[in-house]
Amino acid sequence: MEQGLGRASEEARRVLEGLWRDLGCPGRKDFYPVSYPKKLVRAAELQGWKVDGVDGLRASPSGAQKLGGCNVEKRLITYNSKAIGGNAGRRNFTIAHELGHALLGHPSDKCIGPDYDREKDDHDRMIYAVAALADPADAYKEREADIFARDLLMPAKAVLREFASLCPGGAGSALEHEEIVQELARFFEVSRAAMRRRISEVCFVTQH
């Protein structure tokens, strides 16, 4: 657990537990993924937030294109359907990231979207201009929202279970075979970049 970020993980677990109570299975301990669109939207609704896709969002103060936002007064989470297109993984992570901002109490116009599910050399990183977040407090809020989204969409126990069923050879073996990462990303409905990073976090830590 990253220092000081446990609050985000605890909030994600609280949302998961609320969802599973709503679905009639409150005793779950491992948690299946909630990224399937109806479940993810339902998870937000149970917390009093609606989710809607919009055809474009206004740019952030830095000029970076925004993939999502949350309106406190309307209790509305939006995602930029035009920019995201048919990328279900990016859509799901954006919704979960914005829900994290909402529930952790730091919605802000400075929010420019999730960074966790991007490759280091991803060209799209340019539109985020994360470096523009000069205030460490703003950068911390973005990281908190990413942690919340990560734990909501890819719960550690669920990742370990599915990982073990597909790759008995271990995390190193999984990361060497893109098809395994792709299969897990498809199951959790997240991007391959997010899935690859989650495998490294959960499975390498567990094995060493």
d(CA 149, CA 126): 21
- 163-188 residue pLDDT tens: 888 876 665 555 566 888 899 999 89
What is the pTM for the complete model shown?
A: 0.80
% pLDDT > 90, the chain: 27
Q: What is the pLDDT of residues 131-169, one digit of tens each?
A: 445 577 888 888 999 999 999 999 888 888 888 888 766
| Size of the chain, expressed as the number of residues it contains | 208
> Tokens standing for 140?
């911390």
Rounded to an integer, what distance in angstroms lies between the CA atom of residue 26 and that of residue 153?
Answer: 18
Answer for the pair 141, 106: CB distance below 8 angstroms, yes or no. Answer: yes
Q: Is 143 exposed, middle or buried (0-12, 13-18, 19+ CB in 10 A)?
A: middle
Q: Distance (Å, rounded) from C-alpha 69 to C-alpha 94?
A: 9
